[in-house]
Amino acid sequence: MARESESGLPIEPVYGPDALADWDPGERLGEPGGYPYTRGVYPTMYTGRPWTMRQYAGFGTAAESNARYRQLIEHGTTGLSVAFDLPTQMGHDSDAPLAHGEVGKVGVAVDSIEDMRLLFDGIPLDRVSTSMTINAPAALLLLLYQLVAEEQGVSADRLTGTIQNDVLKEYIARGTYIFPPAPSLRLTADIFRYCKAELPRWNTISISGYHMAEAGATPVQEIAFTLANAVAYVRTAIAAGMDVDAFAPRLSFFFVARTTLLEEIAKFRAARRIWAKVMREEFAAADPRSWMLRFHTQTAGVQLTAQQPEVNLVRVAVQALGAVLGGTQSLHTNAFDEAIALPTDTSARLALRTQQVLAHETDVTATVDPFAGSYAMESLTDEVEAAALALMRRIEDLGGAVAAIERGFQKGEIEESAYRTARQTEEGDRVVVGVNRFRLAQEEPYAPLRVDPAIEAAQVRRLARLRAERDAEAVDGALAAVRRAAAARPEDANVLYPMKEALAARATIGEVCGALREVWGTHVPVDAF
């Protein structure tokens, strides 16, 4: 009897040549590093060197997070990935009333250049690649990073890393938006232009399906909605007068890796193929780098359980294997205790060791594309691709990603999928080990890491001291320049330049976001489609 995949596609007990009728391997597969990149974006993939091993970390104060980053580097992490607390993600300072109780809880609190300076103290920014998971205020954190690098004597053209900067998925699944879609897209285009001129090695956006998957999206929905958002960003940049090959090579993507190994591998292969065709055929990109879908992967936090948390070590290993076999460019492995609280030093190290075992103790890096030619894998890849393209066409029929978001289409589809999964789990049709089967009569005690609530008071004191010591007149003048740039036509002003001046004058993130709110307003969500 056939089973269904997470996306509702049939999985047959046996596959053979008949599953690939009328299949042209030359057109569908190509060679590794060649169009349509089904087999990977680079000719040698991991046979030359493994993926970048990132560990997503950040909690409490900048000084505490800095200590964790130094530990991760000592343990062999090859790229840092910064988690910011909710007030920072929402553009609020730590002393704002809305920030109360959330400072430092799910990431590090960064209010000003002083915090960013502490965050990267002693870390040479010309020798580390840094990913920053931040969206609506992404430009501000990038500019603070650039300012700190300049203080270290590192020029902007030597900086490498990524800002997530994907606000469209915030309207769909995550909710840490600030401004309405139109000015948010204008800010994205300004970042593209700024980085082309100032930070040419920086990845200007990481277009994310991860958070949609965490909210309940199926693998097909994850890549369809992510690529539809990517199309909207490309159109925005082109409308702003940029040549597609001037910015497309710096686009990157961010996906989840679930425990459903086969469909996840097929998902990554299908996503590369769709994006290559979209960029070459719809946008007439001529640079092969513009056709490449390069992506970061994080193992599925939503699949971690608080019950029997040590079982999460197995889940994470399987998920990481799927990401590697799917051809990811970088990978974060979740710690086994993240369903309970922030990871401890020990669990964070174990998560990194999982990647190192895959890279150095298995043979998955010995060949470029281990699954190529598999009847099952090629069939699944075709089916995922077809289903994702059909969903992307529905979005186009609604007027594109932004119009569909404004009607609540993607949000409604994801909520329906999440409800279906919850029902299957509750009814026992979907097995979750340790939750609805193979339970313990009594859970073993576990001592998680907790954030000290005194952190908020300390951050508030730091902000008070900052405001007392800085040149208030210079800050007011710089914020006025930010408001003028935001009110100007996009072709007449890039808001990042006055924003950088304001941050250098020691304006806070909340103050700069407040200046933009005065001009652009804030987003009010709508009910689902």
Q: Which amino acid is at 293?
A: L
What is the pLDDT at residue 174?
86
3-class secondary structure, 80: strand
Cα gap 35→279, rounded to integer Å: 11
What is the pLDDT at residue 529?
47
What is the pLDDT at residue 449?
66
Q: Which two tokens stand for residue 358?
A: 């895959």
What is the pLDDT at residue 527?
61
Cα gap 349→356, rounded to integer Å: 10
CB 246 within 8 A of CB 196: yes
Name which of 412, 429, 10 is nearest 216 in CA terms: 412
What is the pLDDT at residue 58?
75
Q: Tell me the domains of the chain and their CATH numbers.
A: 49-426 (3.20.20.240), 459-520 (no CATH)
What is the pLDDT at residue 2?
63
Burial class of residue 366 (count of CB atoms within 10 Å of its CB; 0-12, 13-18, 19+):
exposed
Give the DSSP H/E element, type plus range, for residue 353. helix 345-360
Name which of 155, 151, 179 is nearest 165 in CA terms: 179
Q: Which two tokens stand for residue 405?
A: 């978001």
Which residues lie across from 54 on neighbouring strands?
79
In terms of phi and psi (left: phi > 0; alpha: psi -120 to 50; beta: otherwise), the region of 483 is alpha
Cα gap 143→365, rounded to integer Å: 37
Query: What is the model's pTM?
Result: 0.91
Residue ranges in 450-508 assigned as alpha helix (H) = 454-469, 472-487, 496-504
- Cα three-residue angle 373-228-290, rounded to 5 degrees: 65
Bridging pattern class, strands 52-57 and 10-11: unpaired
Full pLDDT tens readout for the chain, 529 residues? 468 999 999 998 888 888 787 777 777 788 999 999 999 999 999 999 999 998 777 778 899 999 989 988 888 877 788 999 999 999 999 999 999 999 998 899 999 999 999 999 999 999 989 999 999 999 999 999 999 999 999 999 999 999 999 999 999 998 999 999 999 999 999 999 999 999 999 999 999 999 999 999 999 999 999 999 999 999 999 999 999 999 999 999 999 999 999 999 999 999 999 999 999 999 999 999 999 999 999 999 999 999 999 999 999 999 999 999 999 999 999 999 999 887 888 998 999 999 999 999 999 999 999 999 999 999 999 999 999 999 999 999 999 999 999 999 999 999 999 999 999 999 999 999 999 999 998 887 877 767 778 899 999 999 999 999 999 999 999 999 999 999 999 999 999 999 999 999 999 999 999 999 999 999 987 664 4
Bridging pattern class, strands 3-4 and 10-11: antiparallel
Name which of 222, 340, 216 is nearest 271 in CA terms: 222
